[in-house]
Structure 1
């Protein structure tokens, strides 16, 4: 089995285009196409569906992809171990990230990341949906939810401290709640998927099922509705820090911290060795965010 054929196949799985994948590896379209054909012949199965517009992986191709990636990572690691290669990050790293966090805390750092690793390219896809990493061909995903998938390895990039906040205008009109139970008398803007707000109290954990006229599935939108006096909400400091600094939002219920162990995680499939480009990405952003994240100290 030819390593160059495997490299091409992995890139085709990401780009869905044989010519584009071949160009990344310095191959002409005819040569790239021939490499794929030879790989399929050596395996005795069809790996790719070809159409006039794009290509897609067959079921056998999807099953073969993680094995191809693991083989390539093992070869690179073996070469580096005996001094025949290096762990210099190179190629394209495909990253999936939540929309708001990606826009606010990944995109602003990409220039510095590429300046530090000039042989790398970044393909960033932003979505609030949980992506299938293998199906999507992603090297790494950024998540701010607890990991419950044993097929993935998680590395903590930063803590995700969550607070209750309101606008000065809302407080002036409706008053400020002093205890979690007081929230039942207020209009709360709810993040879809979070039905109960949990607080640490002197009497233990207290869960409050808040009520309100607005439900939204995006953290930035909830923050902005809160700024516009629409109600009280829960927010991550990474999302609300500028509004808190500017005074358009204020933290309330400070004596009752949220019961949450949320964090910002970098995850990748456990079936793969940690590729140099993935290690470089993780190491860079752990340092960039800081032990105490910059959004909590600004």
Structure 2
């Protein structure tokens, strides 16, 4: 089979359209259509239902897809096996991370990674939403959250300590909580739609009802309102390290509860083959996290 045509099938299945597949592969939509048609002619079956608005795999396409994915991974593995180790990584690395962590931690690592690997280009997607890695063609996701998708391969890079934080001005006006029960009298800043904070501690832990005039779907939004002195927020230590050093914000310690611990994970879609670009960037990020304060 023509691997270029196989790549069209895989990318079109992931992206949901031939136009998107063409963009990912750097070819014209007409060329993508011709390659898919040639593949269908070669295997003697229609692989995709195509209309002006939608694209879906036929039963034959669904049966061929895992083999097509394995073919592309095997080709990449073969190329990597004969590439000199000193050559480093190559190709486009599609990477996603949360907005705050991506801007403060991941982007500086990318800068050094690009300098060390001149044959690599990076497309960074910053979002606090959970990205469908397969559908969007993402090679690597950096996540700070409990992992639920068992079909993905994850490597734990580092712990992600979190604490309750507030400004000195807020605590002066509203008092400093000493226990979980005290939080009901405070402005607890939370995510949009969330009604409770899960706090570890005690036999079963605690769930604190979030009551505040402000909520957000972004950690950066919660951080800014907290820094403005309008409430208490659960924030990662790396996110406010400089503000703590300047005395703008302080961590709070409760006697019977604390934010549930999280970890920083590197997640990729397959265990059959990890491209050098993914492996080397993951190692670079892990090393940067290890050396961080």
Which bin holds the TM-score, normalised by the shorter protein? 0.7 to 0.9
Q: Structure 1 residues 215, 18: closer, same or farther in 2, change over 3 A?
A: closer
1:155 aligns with 2:159: no
Q: Return the alpha-carbon distance in structure 2 between the equivalents of residues 135 and 255 of structure 1.
A: 45
- Report which stretch shifted further, 153-162 or 70-79: 70-79
Offset at residue 262 of structure 1 (A): 0.8
Aligned residue for 2:134, secondary structure, equals helix
- Residue in structure 2 matched with residue 21 of structure 1 by the alignment: 25
1:75 aligns with 2:79: no
Offset at residue 214 of structure 1 (A): 2.1
Offset at residue 248 of structure 1 (A): 1.4
Q: Return the alpha-carbon distance in structure 2 between the equivalents of residues 288 and 277 of structure 1.
A: 17
Q: Return the alpha-carbon distance in structure 2 between the equivalents of residues 219 and 22 of structure 1.
A: 35
Q: Return the alpha-carbon distance in structure 2 between the equivalents of residues 199 and 20 of structure 1.
A: 43
Aligned residue for 2:201, secondary structure, equals strand
1:278 aligns with 2:278: yes
Give the conservation status (yes or no) of the 8 Å contact 2:226–2:233. Answer: yes
Give the conservation status (yes or no) of the 8 Å contact 1:76–1:85. Answer: no
Aligned residue for 1:281, secondary structure, equals helix
Aligned length: 283
1:207 aligns with 2:211: no
Aligned residue for 1:106, secondary structure, equals helix
Q: Return the alpha-carbon distance in structure 2 between the equivalents of residues 67 and 238 of structure 1.
A: 42
Q: Return the alpha-carbon distance in structure 2 between the equivalents of residues 20 and 135 of structure 1.
A: 12
Q: Return the alpha-carbon distance in structure 2 between the equivalents of residues 85 and 34 of structure 1.
A: 31
Give matches, 1:103-122, under 5 Å: 103-122=103-122
Offset at residue 222 of structure 1 (A): 0.6
Ranges in structure 2 where 5+ consecutive residues have no aligned partner: none
Question: What CA RMSD, in Å, does the superposition of the two structures yield over aligned residues?
Answer: 3.1
- Residue in structure 1 matched with residue 267 of structure 2 by the alignment: 267
Q: Deviations over 1:46-94 (max 9, x none)?
A: 458586xxx985335687665433322223334655xx44574221121
Q: Structure 1 residues 102, 184: closer, same or farther in 2, change over 3 A?
A: same
Q: Return the alpha-carbon distance in structure 1 between the equivalents of residues 174 and 224 of structure 2.
A: 18
Offset at residue 34 of structure 1 (A): 4.3
For normalisation by structure 2, the TM-score amounts to 0.81
- Residue in structure 1 matched with residue 218 of structure 2 by the alignment: 218
Q: Return the alpha-carbon distance in structure 1 between the equivalents of residues 156 and 98 of structure 2.
A: 15
Give matches, 1:34-183, under 5 Å: 34-43=34-43, 44-47=45-48, 49=50, 58-60=56-58, 67-78=67-78, 84-85=82-83, 88-183=88-183
- Report which stretch shifted further, 4-13 or 237-246: 4-13
Offset at residue 29 of structure 1 (A): 8.2
- Residue in structure 2 matched with residue 196 of structure 1 by the alignment: 197
- Report which stretch shifted further, 234-243 or 4-13: 4-13
For normalisation by structure 1, the TM-score amounts to 0.80
Q: Return the alpha-carbon distance in structure 2 between the equivalents of residues 63 and 160 of structure 1.
A: 41
Q: Return the alpha-carbon distance in structure 1 between the equivalents of residues 246 and 63 of structure 2.
A: 51
Q: Return the alpha-carbon distance in structure 1 between the equivalents of residues 84 and 6 of structure 2.
A: 19
